[in-house]
Amino acid sequence: MRHIMVLNAKGGSGKTTIATNLAAALAVQGKSVGLADFDPQGSSMAWLEARPPARPPIPGYAAWQGKYRPARNLDFLIMDAPAAVHGKELNALLRKAETIIIPVLPSPIDMRAAQQFIEEVKKSGRVARKQAKIALVANRVREWTRIWGELEEFLRRQRIPVLTHLRESQNYIRAAEQGLGIFEFAPAATAIDRDQWHPILRWVRSKRSQP
């Protein structure tokens, strides 16, 4: 089973959006996917509750409550991390996944927070020992704005793979409400978002995302 965690100490950076869309995208591709919610806010669990029964089922685990036992036959376990994790708590989370995605928003406050967070993640045992692979995703990007350019440059400087940027789109808001992923909407309405997601899907299914 592959373990993929979406992680950033900064609140509202898009962890739940990326975790739920990744889970749905892999499920649509026929993979067996579970979703573990480490955030006591329970946003990923709420998304699963809204998920229509006719869609590929995704078992959910309220992992913030402590012990959780994912089904053995899963191809992927996607993990949604809480905000404000540092130190020991962060190290404990990092031990659970071999693939880590860090979303960053185009804002000066988020970029400054991300800088510190990325340094902390790089120093953590598992990442330092190359037992876990990390990658960055720019999220809620409004293309051709100055701050987007600054974010791209900031991400490149981190010396970590930058997978893609996801635009700011109502599709993510609709998907969050309906328990769906953007790959479950009509292709015409989500063509740009699908294109922007393909590098993430390629990466998580490739050796490059595995230690």
Q: How far is the CB of 122 from ligand ATP (least distance, A)?
A: 20
39 binds ligand ATP (CB under 6 A): yes
Query: Per DSSP, what are the bridge partners of residue 77?
Result: 3, 34
Q: Cβ 118 to ligand ATP, closest distance in Å?
A: 15
Contact flag: residue 17 with ligand ATP (CB under 6 A): yes
Calculate Rg over the CA atoms of the chain. 16
> Which amino acid appears at position 15 of this protein?
K
Residue 107 contact partner, candidates Mg ion, ligand ATP, none, CB within 5 to 8 A by sort of partner: none
Examine residue 140 and tell whether it contacts ligand ATP (CB under 6 A).
Answer: yes
In the bound state with Mg ion, the residue whose beta carbon lies nearer, of 16 and 164, is 16
Nearer to ligand ATP, 13 or 209 (CB): 13
Distance CA 189, CA 24 (A): 17
C-alpha dihedral, 195 to 200 to 201 to 204, nearest 10°: 170
Three-state SS for 177? helix
Of 148-187, binders to ligand ATP (CB under 6 A) are 166, 168-169, 172-173, 176
168 touches, from ligand ATP, Mg ion, none (C-beta below 5 to 8 Å by class): ligand ATP
Query: 77 or 79: whose CB is closer to ligand ATP?
Result: 79
Tokens of 125: 């045992």
Beta-ladder partners of 164: 137
- Nearest-approach distance from CB 151 to ligand ATP, in angstroms: 13
Contact assessment for residue 149 and residue 165, using Cβ atoms and an 8 Å cutoff = no
Give the Cα separation of 4 and 168 in Å (integer).
Answer: 23
Site for ligand ATP in 59-78 (CB under 6 A): none
